Amino acid sequence: MKKSLIVVILSAFSISGLNAQDYNLGGNKFGDNWSIGLNGGIATPLTHSTFFKNSRAVIGLDINKQLSPIYGLTLESNWSINTQSRMAAQKSGTAFDAFNLMLLNRLNLNNMFAGYNGQPRLFEVEAVGGFGWLRLNDFYETGEGANHLASKAGVNFNFNLGEKKAWTVAIKPAILWDMSMWDADRAHSHPNFNANYANWEITAGVVYHFKNSNGKHHMTKVRAYDASEVSALNATINNLRQDVSSKDESMRNTANRLRNEEQKSADLERALQECRNQGPKVITNNKKTLESVVTFRQGKIVIDASQQPNVERIATYLKNHKEAKVNILGYASPEGSAEVNERIANQRAEAVKNMLVNKYRIDVRRITAKGQGVGYMFEEPDWNRVSICTIVED
């Protein structure tokens, strides 16, 4: 029995080493995969006793460290309640007749034979075995307490609960051996496994698993990358960063060009509005000449209300100077066909002529109106949609 238990423990360490190579795990640092558990149940002699009649209550606390999905360690402490007679209990002076502190090896049989899928299963079975210290407060028999070497072997039936698998409810049947047997022939004690010095220990408990560095309460499987994959990924990341940087630069240049175009458009709009609102100007050469510009909208031959003051100034001058005449030249901007531009230019000249005749009662014989097609007086094409009225006096 002793040899078998030693073989199991050595196998556990070997499997743990192999298991660490088989899995690429996240959340497997030293500070990860710790848990704490509370236990309660009964202990009763393994032989020569009635199971329930000679049983006594057991309470315990354990601290667990999972080294791999298969292998883990548990530091367990259990206390059994003193059920001796009142006289013996008073003599012993303690509420507990036994205490054991064990270092246990745990093998997860599900993960050993079926593999680990990245999180605990709902139900798992663990094989448990290890050694430790047993303290017996056997005042009733010997009048004093005694320290013994102990060993335990058992099975844990684990139910991992919750979406995060942070809690485990466990049922733990086991056998606890008192290995410090007295050999009368040799006159000293020696370790041995003997059923007459063993107890059934059946407990159940709840275990809380602390959160790991990976944000989970358990180990997770992660993909392993070799050096060539890492280099390729780094190159891809660098290319993406350069691409983002170049696109940012392109977006900044586009934004700058857009702002420049918007500024240019605003300047042109302001200049066009000033042109539309400008009054008549007098150019003095050999003759006294009055010139007024009437601006039209794109494709339009109707005089806007904002341009009527420019027409009225011509009418007023003609009324005050009876010998003066006016020459009206209509123009179009370059958009459209030559035929359309010729027609629009002529209609714009006629529009100013008709307003002078119909609204201001100027004699039609004093007015000359003619279209000039596309105008090139101004560098900006939009400003060439005009009729220019020129008065010349002898």
What is the domain-level CATH number for residue 29?
A: 2.40.160.20
Considering 176, 205, 221, which residue would you say is the last residue of a domain?
A: 221
Give CA–CA dist 386/378, Å, rounded.
11
Q: What is the pLDDT of residue 190?
A: 63
Q: Is the pLDDT of residue 384 over 90?
A: no
DSSP state of 366: G
Structure confidence at residue 83 (pLDDT): 67
Q: β-strands 288-295, 386-393: how paired? A: antiparallel
The whole-angstrom separation of Cα 2 and Cα 9 is 11
Is 27's pLDDT higher than 60? yes
Query: Looking at the domain assignment, is residue 327 inside a domain?
Result: yes
Residue 16 included in any domain:
yes
Would you say 95 and 81 are in contact if contact means Cβ atoms under 8 Å apart?
Answer: yes
What is the predicted pLDDT for the residue at 189? 58
Domain co-membership, 338 together with 190: no
307 in the same domain as 213: no
Region 129-141 average pLDDT:
75
Of 193, 221, 249, the domain-final residue: 221
Give the confidence band of 187 by pLDDT, cuts at 50, 70, 90: very low
Residue of 143, 146, 123, 118 whose CA lies nearest to 133: 146
- Tokens 């458009």 map to which residue? 265
Say if 253 falls within a structural domain: no
pLDDT at 260 exceeding the cut of 80: yes
Closest CA to 381 of 336, 341, 334, 337: 334
**DSSP-derived 3-state class of residue 73:** strand
Residues 11 and 98 in one domain: yes
- Total domain count, the chain: 2
CA distance 160 to 120: 7
Question: Would you say residue 268 lies in a domain?
Answer: no
Over the stretch 34-62, which tens digit does the pLDDT of each residue have?
999 999 999 988 887 777 787 889 999 99
Specify the pLDDT at position 383. 78
Residue 158 within a domain: yes
> What's the CA gap between 150 and 175, in Å, rounded?
10
Give residue 222's identity as a one-letter amino acid code: V
Please tell me whether residues 303 and 381 are part of one structural domain. Answer: yes
Torsions phi, psi for 190 (to 5 deg): -150, 150
212 Cβ partners below 8 Å, 6+ apart? 27, 28, 29, 32, 33, 218, 219
Q: What's the CA gap between 360 and 33, in Å, rounded?
A: 101
Other beta carbons within 10 angstroms of residue 362's beta carbon come to 19
Q: Name the residue with higher pLDDT: 227 or 18.
A: 227
- Inside any domain, residue 241: no
- 176 domain residue, yes or no: yes
From 204, 221, 238, the end of a domain falls on: 221
Digit-coded pLDDT (tens) for 286-303: 455 688 899 988 888 899
Question: 342 and 197: one domain?
Answer: no
Q: Is 12 helix (H, G, I), strand (E, B) or coil?
A: helix
The one-letter amino acid at 159 = F
CATH of the domain at 337: 3.30.1330.60
Q: At what angle do helices 308-320 and 338-358 cross, to 10 degrees?
A: 50
- 133 shares its domain with 212: yes
For residue 247, being part of any structural domain is answered with no
319 & 204 share domain: no
In terms of domains, do 64 and 207 share one? yes
User: Is 296 found in the same domain as 373?
Assistant: yes
Which range has highest mean pLDDT (103-107, 113-117, 143-147, 314-318)? 103-107
Considering only 160-169, 348-357, 363-372, 384-393, which range has the smallest mean pLDDT?
A: 384-393
**pTM of the shown model:** 0.53
Query: Do β-strands 188-191 and 220-221 pair in parallel, antiparallel, or remain unpaired?
Result: unpaired
**Structural domain harbouring 22:** 3-221
Tokens 């010997």 appear where?
142
How far apart, in whole angstroms, are the C-alpha atoms of residue 316 and residue 279? 13
